[in-house]
Structure 1
Amino acid sequence: MDKLVREEIFNTAKSWILEAGNIIRNKINEPMEIGSKSNPNDLVTSVDRSTEEYFVNKIKSKYPKHLLLSEEGFGDNIQTVDGTIWIIDPIDGTMNFVQQKRNFAISIGIYHEGIGEIGLIYNVMEDILYTATRGEGAYKNGQKLPPLKSGVVLEESIVGLTHLWLCENPLVDERVMQELVQTARGSRTYGSAALEFAYVAEGVLEGYLTMSLSPWDIAAGMILVNEVGGVSTNLDGNVLDILKRDSVFTGHPEVHKRILEDFIKKGRK
């Protein structure tokens, strides 16, 4: 993607995500419809849907040739990475949104011919916007994030984990995961994959791993993490397919390598 084109799209996407966040903040205490999708804990609200519709209308109006991959079903049926694709989660962390009214984000990843060009993650209630453009670094509210420091060890790291490694058919032996938790300095669960990616990019977390995420959960975050020198793979250490659901492991390259070799591969089922 041409640099000038990328800059124009970035500025447009930034204005839209901030406007959408403002709309959500103004509606946060209003009555809303709450339903579920794959299971009773997989929540969806009328605000998820209206926010996604907001982006669909904006994108299709200004960029009619661009495609949209999104969580709530208003996007296109995308089979290849050809062209320019916006990958959007209108509210990442819907359970937090419903029960806490905080700790959720809008996530937008823009890919061109399969390459991540622009990533935006907006922590709506704290008014914190993480942004990244390919080759130009990652930012938090306009302040450039430094590259991840070298010499980081797992024993001094905080790792983001989800409870899914304790599910009925875990991908990694739970005894190995318990060993990982005991070896790291600490573990955290924030309930929003987009925010956990942003925290890895910021250096608040040294790693984040989960058993299963969709493209809209990771599209923006991968770009942010990449721009500060981080690594994102699945639990086999393979490159993530931006159009498919998969296990996800993102983090500081040294911590990523240590966890992958000493824990994940040892406990992989």
Structure 2
Amino acid sequence: MSEYWENVKNTAVKWVEEAGRMLKDSLHDSLDIQTKSNPNDLVTEMDYKVERYLTERIEQNFPGHKTIGEEEAGRNIASTEGVLWIIDPIDGTTNFVHQKYNFAISVAVVENGHGKVGIVYNVMQDEWFTAVDGRGAYLNDKKLPETCGPVSLPEAVIGLNGRWLARETRSDEASLHHMVRRSRSVRSYGTAAIELAFVACGRLDGYISFRLSPWDYAAGLVLLKETGITVTTFQGDSPSMLQQNTILAARPTLHEELTSYLYNHKGFTY
């Protein structure tokens, strides 16, 4: 059965590669930029174009599979029963608009709630992070280690958006501000999919985010499982594939240390 998912992954990579070319070509044109939930939540016509391109090919080639995407696909889906593709056509749309860099296409294939295939394509760097359940994770053609060594917070580089620090009102030793001061450093790349992939390949030791949707992290979960990274919500649960979640991904020893700062964390203005 794992051979089947390997073939699904290879097929999906071909589609994502073509979608990446579409995005690169579009950078030479003027974009139609709109906002969604707030002025900082951007969407372009390319978000819709890439999502439709991928969903159409899934429907044509895998008619029994369902799809859910960030922009419009699968709004009526209420269950992960069967096979579900979870798509983020451009993770990091703000980067796509402003930097023309640091954005990704993220695709996960989930069977009965269990991640089978994960693809994060870092478009402008032409980096492919791919994984098939039980077959390991890869950065381009190089297999990533299946286990990761221990690291303590003073030695760790953590992915964390500075906006969350700005919203924190507590300042005691359980605060994120205190955690950041104890860490070696923090980074923010503006795209959850890439940051989770960076944890998988060791460029980051951990990643923290408060409000992520399944299309932000579904592919990353497959990568992280194959590289020995622990991923939970702040309460220690497995992230849902159908609703918004808090996400803590880190090497096992570091994950345990970071949990003390995040479990039932209060003190934020949203």
Q: State the TM bucket, normalised to the shorter chain.
A: over 0.9
Confirm or deny: 8 A CA contact 1:116 1:134 kept in the other structure: yes
In 2, Cα distance between equivalents of 1:101 and 1:217: 19
1:106 maps onto 2:109 in alignment: no
Is the contact made by 1:56 and 1:75 (CA closer than 8 Å) also made in structure 2? no
Please tell me the residue identity of whatever aligns with 1:203: G
Partner amino acid, structure 2, of 1:243:
L
SS, match of residue 87 in structure 2: strand
2:68–2:74: 8 Å Cα contact kept in structure 1?
yes
Q: CA separation of 1:83/1:76 partners in 2, compared to 1, >3 Å: closer, same or farther?
A: farther
Structure 1: runs of 5 or more not aligned: none
Change beyond 3 A, Cα 1:14–1:184: same
1:247-262 map, 5 Å:
247-261=246-260
Question: Cα distance, 1:251 vs. partner?
Answer: 1.3
TM-superposed CA distance for 1:181, in Å, is 0.4
Matches within 5 A, 1:1-269: 2-166=1-165, 173=170, 175=172, 176-261=175-260, 263-265=261-263, 267-268=265-266
**Do the aligned partners of 2:92 and 2:103 also contact (CA within 8 Å) in 1?**
yes
**Quick check: 251-260 or 191-200, which moved more?**
251-260
> What is the letter of the counterpart of residue 183 of structure 1?
R
Q: Secondary structure at the match of 1:74?
A: coil
Distance 2:181 2:239 in 1: 28
> Which amino acid in 2 is paired with 1:46?
E
Question: Contact between 1:10 and 1:118, CA under 8 Å: does it hold in 2?
Answer: yes
SS in 2 for 1:18: helix
Distance across 2 between alignment mates of 1:61 and 1:266: 44
User: Structure 1 vs Structure 2: percent identity of aligned residues?
Assistant: 40
Q: What's the secondary structure of 1:117's corresponding residue?
A: strand
Partners of 1:112 and 1:174 in 2: CA distance: 42
Q: 1:49/1:119 Cα in 2 relative to 1: closer, same or farther (>3 Å)?
A: same
Q: Is the 8 A contact 1:68 1:76 kept in 2?
A: no
Query: RMSD of the alignment, in Å?
Result: 1.5
CA gap of 1:266–1:65, structure 2 versus 1, over 3 A, is: closer
**Do the aligned partners of 1:164 and 1:210 also contact (CA within 8 Å) in 2?**
no
Partner of 2:263, secondary structure, is: helix
Residue 76 (structure 1) shift: 5.0
Q: Check the 8 A contact 1:173/1:267 in 2, yes or no.
A: no
Residue aligned with 2:55, SS: helix
Give SS of 1:14's match.
Answer: helix
Letter in 2 for 1:86: W
Q: Give the Cα–Cα distance (whole angstroms) in 2 for the partners of residues 173 and 231 of structure 1.
A: 27
For 1:73 and 1:12, the matched residues in 2 are separated by 23
Give the alignment's TM-score, normalised by structure 1. 0.94
Q: For structure 2, which runs of at least 5 residues remain unmatched after alignment?
A: none
Q: Shift of the alpha carbon at 1:180?
A: 0.5
Deviations 1:163-199 (A, max 9, x none): 342465x5x8455111100111000000000000000
The question of whether the paired residues in 1 share the 8 Å contact of 2:148 and 2:228 is answered with no
Q: Distance in 2 between matches of 1:249 and 1:151?
A: 16
Secondary structure in 2 matching 1:232: strand
Change in 2 beyond 3 A, CA 1:48/1:121: same
Q: How many residues are matched? A: 265
**Partner letter of residue 141 of structure 1?**
N
- Report the AA paired with residue 193 of structure 1: A
